[in-house]
Amino acid sequence: MRTASSHDLMVVWNNGKVLANISRYRDEPVASSRRALGVMLLGMTIAEYASCLELGMTGQQIGIIGTGVMGGPMACNLLQAGFSVQAWNRSPEKLQGIADLGGISCDSPEQAASGVDVLICMLSDGPTCDAVLFGDGAAVDAMAPGATLVVMSSIPVETAHVQAERCRERGLGYLDAPVSGGERGAQEASLAIMVGGESETFAAAEPVLTVMGRAVHVGPAGTGQQAKLANQMIVASTIATVAEALLFAERGGADPAKVRDALSGGFADSPIMRQHGLRMIEESFAPGGAAKYQLKDTHTAMERADVLGLQLPVATVADELFEAMVEHGDGDLDHSGLIRELRRLND
């Protein structure tokens, strides 16, 4: 293991991989926790980290619109990695954690977009993104030509196509970069980031994206959203299957907690079985990913399947189950609360 210092930053690496970026604590020992003493475990090669470090130390400015469950931790990770961040959120109290880390709280989306190199949008859906970015007082109009808009919200593929064209007309770069991993992934900087857009734009923004998770360029504008829809189809159907399996085990006289433990490590094991299966067993449905947003994504996937002329029977059933869950008043619960809908069907 080796270390190298630059100003108030220290890099620790082993076998060619960066292990830690310790801000403002260059004389302190490395702690084991990702969060202790400002440690950010990045997992980059030294060359990748040097690129990121150079950008941060030369004052690259990042704007963030939307600092809720996902956007807030993402902004904090960027600050801890050395980037300058200015952020706006409809509920100003959600900016406090960012301000505590040295970020700038903005009074409007336009202010958050002004003078930035990269503007990240993390709002709830396509219409909301369009209204804030391109509507009255359009945030993108405050961006200088050459800057890049990165929409990390889950939006329709067609919306991403239109946004990309609007950015091109303004001389702006554009990436659609939806994420998977939920609140925990945002907090731990372990998000799966699916990116659509021009390869040159992705290469320029990759050091920023890498701070928040693992970014993969999957194709031109819109394909990030296509990949996210594929992800959400898998998530929705897997949650439904895990819920069915645990209910099936319970009604057959087995202890569902012990069944979950017994399946650990086998082919049926998965992060959804481990994390959401536990939520189902404990009936702990505080939203990490709200069911109403899962339904938005499955609806969008079904609409996209129609455009592509595809019949997707498993995804269709999962979409119908989440629709019933939301109609029964559980839309604000975590999507693992789908087991409640299955109980309603069987009681």
For residue 346 the two structure tokens come to: 């069987």
Confidence (pTM): 0.78
Is residue 53 a part of any domain in this protein? Answer: no
Range of the domain at 130: 59-220
pLDDT at residue 222, as a whole number: 98
pLDDT in tens, the chain (347 residues): 333 333 334 343 333 334 444 333 333 333 222 232 233 334 455 455 555 555 444 468 999 999 999 999 999 999 999 999 999 999 999 999 999 999 999 999 999 999 999 999 999 999 999 999 999 989 999 999 999 999 999 999 999 999 999 999 999 999 999 999 888 899 999 999 999 999 999 999 999 999 999 999 999 999 999 999 999 999 999 999 999 999 999 999 999 999 999 999 999 999 999 999 999 999 999 988 899 999 999 999 999 999 999 999 999 999 999 999 999 999 999 999 999 999 999 99
Q: From CA 340, how far away is CA 94, in angstroms rounded?
A: 30
| Three-class secondary structure of residue 58 per DSSP | coil
| Three-class secondary structure of residue 313 per DSSP | helix
Sequence letter at residue 322:
F
Mark whether 121 and 249 lie in a shared domain: no
Q: Which residue has the tokens 């409007």?
A: 108
Q: How do the residues of the chain divide into helix, strand and coil, expressed in percent and rounded to 5? A: 50, 20, 30
Of 100, 79, 135, 305, the C-alpha closest to 123 is 135
For residue 66 the two structure tokens come to: 């939307």
Mark whether 79 and 216 lie in a shared domain: yes
Domain final residue, candidates 192, 220, 248: 220
pLDDT at residue 325, as a whole number: 98
pLDDT at residue 59, as a whole number: 60
Is residue 250 a part of any domain in this protein? Answer: yes
pLDDT at residue 78, as a whole number: 96
* Number of domains comprising the chain: 3
Is residue 54 a part of any domain in this protein? Answer: no
For 115-158, the DSSP string reads T-SEEEE--SSHHHHHHHHHSTT-GGGGSPTT-EEEE-S---HH
Is residue 171 a part of any domain in this protein? Answer: yes
Catalytic residues: 228
For 84-126, the DSSP string reads EEEEE-SSGGGGHHHHHTTPEE-SSHHHHHTT-SEEEE--SSH
| Burial classification of residue 303, based on how many CB atoms lie within 10 Å of its CB (0-12 exposed, 13-18 middle, 19 or more buried) | middle
Is residue 198 a part of any domain in this protein? Answer: yes
The rounded Cα 320 to chain-centroid distance in angstroms is 25
Sequence letter at residue 145:
P
Is residue 47 a part of any domain in this protein? Answer: no
CATH for 306 = 1.10.1040.10
Q: What is the DSSP letter of 30?
A: P
